[in-house]
Amino acid sequence: MFIDSHCHLDRLDLSPYDNDFSKMLQAASDRGVDKMLCVSIALEQFPSMYELISQHNNVFASVGVHPLSAADEQVTVEQLAEKAALDRIIAIGETGLDYFYQTDTQELQQTSFKNHLVAASKLNLPTIVHTRDAQEDTLQMIREHGSLDAAGVLHCFTESLEMAKEALDLNYMISFSGIITFKNAAELREVVKQVPLNRILIETDAPYLAPVPHRGKKNEPKYVVEVAQCIADLKGISVEEVAETTSENFYQLFNKARL
């Protein structure tokens, strides 16, 4: 069994499935992808996202505001806590810092990130963290405002091995996406080799970043198998071992998913 630990199901193009969400889920299940985590990026869109996934026992969700939306939508600890109380919400995020696309909103991003980390600590929920070109600030904010007990995951990881090691020391997991299959990702594949399998999650970040050999297509959860296969090849182990271990890692981090 594979688990897609990070996808945006409310943004998928369902036209290949006759606009039937259940058919998309079945296509994933046919490849052994039996569980997935639909990640929130905006409170404004949260109600429709939650309505989409709430009737499906194999789909979990998070609540949060993406750092690139922080300038438009500031979120409070109380707002996050209110929505986190809903059934099937197992994490806080996606939150974090992105200085690659926006350098003029750093303070707003940091305020939003802090509120997410504080909410996650109070609720004992893991935090889903997006980080790009903000290594030092991301780690420092986790140290200051995060929880070692609840911890979290650096999703769609593309940063340095040094950052990965520091995140592991903070009890975070590292999640890899289809980017590791790209031709220009040789350095990132070296990071994959160095991160212990028992600290790795796999994800699609669908509908973005479809892995080889599906580049150019819209991504979807069934393609997380290609991510797992790439990790297996890099580590010289079976894809079945990657599936089993990353699934156990998922339940270890997102322990509400066991309930």
List the CATH number of the domain containing 128: 3.20.20.140
pTM of the model: 0.97
> Which domain covers residue 80, as residue numbers?
2-258
Helix %, strand %, coil % of the chain (to 5): 45, 15, 35
Among residues 120, 40, 111, which one has the least CA distance to residue 70? 111
Rounded CA separation 163/175 (Å): 13
Helix (H, G, I), strand (E, B) or coil at 5: strand
Q: Note down pLDDT in tens along the chain; length 259 residues.
A: 999 999 999 999 999 999 999 999 999 999 999 999 999 999 999 999 999 999 999 999 999 999 999 989 999 999 999 999 999 999 999 999 999 988 899 999 999 999 999 999 999 999 999 999 999 999 999 999 999 888 999 999 999 999 999 999 999 999 999 999 999 999 999 999 999 999 999 999 999 999 999 999 999 999 999 999 999 999 999 999 999 999 999 999 999 998 6
Question: Which residue's structure tokens are 């769609």?
Answer: 156
How many domains, in total, are found in the chain?
1
| AA letter at 111 | T
